[in-house]
Amino acid sequence: MLKKFLYILCMAAFIVSAGCSGTGTKEAADHIHKEGTQAKKAKPQTKEAQKEPEVKNQDTHGTENSPDAQKADPVVKPITPQYRINPNNWSIVPLEKSDKKEVLLTIDDAPDKHAVEMAKTLKGLGIKAIFFVNGHFIDSPEGQAKLKELHDLGFIIGNHTQTHANLTQIPESQQYKEIVPLNQKIKAVTGEAPKFFRAPYGANTAYSKKLAAQEKMAIMNWTFGYDWVKEYQNKDALTKIMISSPYLSNGANLLMHDRTWTMEALPGIIKGFQDKGYSFIDPALIEVPK
């Protein structure tokens, strides 16, 4: 009797256990099936979606999101030379055949009293030129400000020595001091070292030519100029002789200076050449040593 009772009790427990186990298994299976179905329906993430989200509108001080950082660096295209200097007569010669009548304008002894005003006149007329600088004019903050303004107006700056010394009358050590440190001073103000060298009085030496080559400067004298001659030191006389000089020819390299009478004559000189059919060469297009 006792054995029969124990048998019935065991069978009942087994049935209950199996029923509970079966129900739990079915619910778990249903849950897994449901999640699997949702997973199948969800679209897979793209590579772009897998990337970390971009953070915007944060504090931009010193970050890549700042306006300054977003500005692209300007692309500076190399300038292809279109002219060269003829060392036989210092005229400017086109590298390719041209029928244009052209002259080059150069102004020495800058920036003394009138260079900036002359540069503004030329800028207004759309004329390019070289301003040859003497170092003693840029030893002061005022002189350096003038030099920077000449450069900022778009004009080429040339080396005309520190003190306007005659290089043929001083030793090589002094010639060096007249030329090389001035390049460094000009570069410190403008960010560019001169590409043209003009010796005072046109008096070069073998050593000054060597220094110019080392400094990658083209030596440039001139074809003609008159504003240093007493009889032409007034507006009308200077204007007349410049545009009617017997030395005027295509490619002429015109010499002028930072002087009161030259400043006053400048607009008339420009117009006189233009009336004769001449245009003005951009010195940035002249071949220089590399």
For 136-162, what is each residue's pLDDT tens digit?
999 999 999 999 999 999 999 999 999
* Residue 175: domain span: 97-285
- Supply the pLDDT for residue 77: 66
Quick check: is 155 in a domain? yes
Closest by CA to 92, choosing from 285, 243, 245, is: 285
Quick check: is 86 in a domain? no
Quick check: is 232 in a domain? yes
Quick check: is 227 in a domain? yes
Pick out the chain residues at pLDDT < 70: 1-77
Quick check: is 160 in a domain? yes
Stated pTM of the model: 0.74
Query: What angle is formed at CA 91 by the lines to CA 221 and CA 281, rounded to 5 degrees?
Result: 100
Quick check: is 28 in a domain? no
- Supply the pLDDT for residue 2: 43
CATH number of the domain to which 209 belongs:
3.20.20.370
Quick check: is 83 in a domain? no
Angle separating helix axes 235-244 and 260-275, nearest 10 degrees: 40
Quick check: is 202 in a domain? yes
- Supply the pLDDT for residue 63: 35
- Supply the pLDDT for residue 75: 56
User: 19-76: per-residue pLDDT in tens?
Assistant: 434 333 333 333 333 333 333 333 333 333 333 333 333 333 333 344 444 444 455 5
Instruction: Tell me how many domains the chain contains.
Output: 1
Cβ-proximal residues to 67 (8 Å cutoff; 6+ apart), any chain: 60
